[in-house]
Amino acid sequence: MASIRLDVISIGTLSRNRLWNEGQPVRTPHATTTLIRTGKRTILVDPGLPPQALGARLYERTGLKPESVDTVFLTNFRPAHRAGIALFPKAKRLIHELEQQATAQQLRQLIDGAPDEDLDRKILTEEMDLLESLRPADDKLAPGVDLFPLFGYTPGQSGTATISTAGIFFSSSMVSVRGVATFPATCSFHEARSTFGV
């Protein structure tokens, strides 16, 4: 198995948290950004911070510059997951195919409904251009780095499951569910790992 290194570049935040009695936005939302290095691959998941902040944080946490990143994977197309994507113009930019298709359909409807000279139409067209610059991700981004579908929050929401000798690490947005996920008493790391074909 290839050696895999994971670095959390930035821990994301919501614009408000109703559990903390925040009724109005109090901060700029951004997704958690994770860097995955395996073999010759350097994959950034969800560049949620603005470019200048993300570049500084990437270097501070890993010693890498943006040009070292060869792949950017978006878990979904929401703005909080891609604020810093412009920092990586030469990287492959990937998203789950279902997310890309569903978002394109929504954007087309909004563009078609906006008047020709409307500012919204211009902004929506720029969003569509960015979406079309992304490529559908394969089920396996690299050896030991698989897509992990989490459809629901958005139609094609996906994370990554990184499998190494140290364990299984998931990179994605928080997923809201009813109830709590539990594991049977017999669940072990090796059993869980085997479900990923490792």
Helix/strand/coil for 99: helix
Report the CATH number that the domain containing residue 33 is assigned in CATH.
Answer: 3.60.15.10
Domain extent, residue 180, equals 4-194
Using CA atoms, how far apart are residues 58 and 146, in angstroms rounded to an integer? 23
Neighbours of 162 (CB within 10 A): 25
pLDDT in tens, the chain (198 residues): 568 999 999 998 888 888 888 899 999 899 999 999 999 999 999 999 999 999 999 999 999 999 999 999 999 999 999 999 999 999 999 999 999 999 999 999 999 999 988 999 999 999 999 999 999 999 999 998 999 888 878 889 998 888 777 777 777 764 433 333 333 333 344 544 454 454
- Say how many domains are in the chain: 1
pLDDT digits (tens, 9 = 90+) for 94-137: 999 999 999 999 999 999 999 988 999 999 999 999 999 999 99
Instruction: Give the torsion through C-alpha atoms of 16, 19, 23, 24, to 10 deg.
Output: -10
What pLDDT is recorded for position 173? 63
